[in-house]
Amino acid sequence: MADTIKFEVVTPDQLILSEDVDYVGVPGIQGQFGVLSNHIPFLSALAVGSLYYRKDGQVKYLFVSGGFAEVSPDSLTILAESAEKAEDIDLTRAQKAKERAEERVQREKDRIEFAQAQVALRRAIERINLKEKAG
């Protein structure tokens, strides 16, 4: 499989994914970037968002919440603060988290707590959007 890349997603708790894939689209903090086999090595910080990969003509999605991507010519390792496969996202739970975060954003006056509430809201919205996109 000369045109594939070893793709791993790791959180502090567990290995989420380890597969040989054709392509990966990653939410970097400077914007989305793509990784193919024989990519130039680099490191990037990750944004909160959806990541997707293509394997055998199928596209699959994951949610990532911050972390880092390490790219080499034959591998891509995502070290994420948290990550979930789209099929593992509980839509009801994500919608409740969104509602709680929206309430926090409305009531928080302290700048730090307001920023934390905004991050929680963004995480919930990204998870909901990803689940709906992936089906």
Quote the mean pLDDT of the chain. Answer: 87
Quick one: pLDDT band at residue 1, thresholds 50, 70, 90?
A: very low
Mean pLDDT value of segment 65-93: 90
Q: What is the architecture of the domain spanning 5-86?
A: Sandwich (2.60)
Domains of the chain, by residue range, sit at 5-86, 90-134
**Per-residue pLDDT, 109:** 65
The model's pTM is 0.74
Share of the chain above pLDDT 70, in %: 96
- Which of the following CATH numbers is that of domain 90-134: 2.40.10.220, 3.90.110.10, 3.60.140.10, 1.20.5.440? 1.20.5.440
Higher pLDDT, residue 130 or 15: 15
Look at 59 and 110; give whichever has higher pLDDT: 59
Q: Tell me the three-class secondary structure of the chain, residue by residue.
A: CCCCEEEEEECCCCEEEEEEECEEEEEECCEEEEECCCCCCEEEEEEEEEEEEEECCEEEEEEEEEEEEEEECCEEEEEECCEEEHHHCCHHHHHHHHHHHHHHHHHCCCHHHHHHHHHHHHHHHHHHHHHHHHC
Which has more confidence, 92 or 69? 69
Query: What confidence score (pLDDT) does residue 76 get?
Result: 97
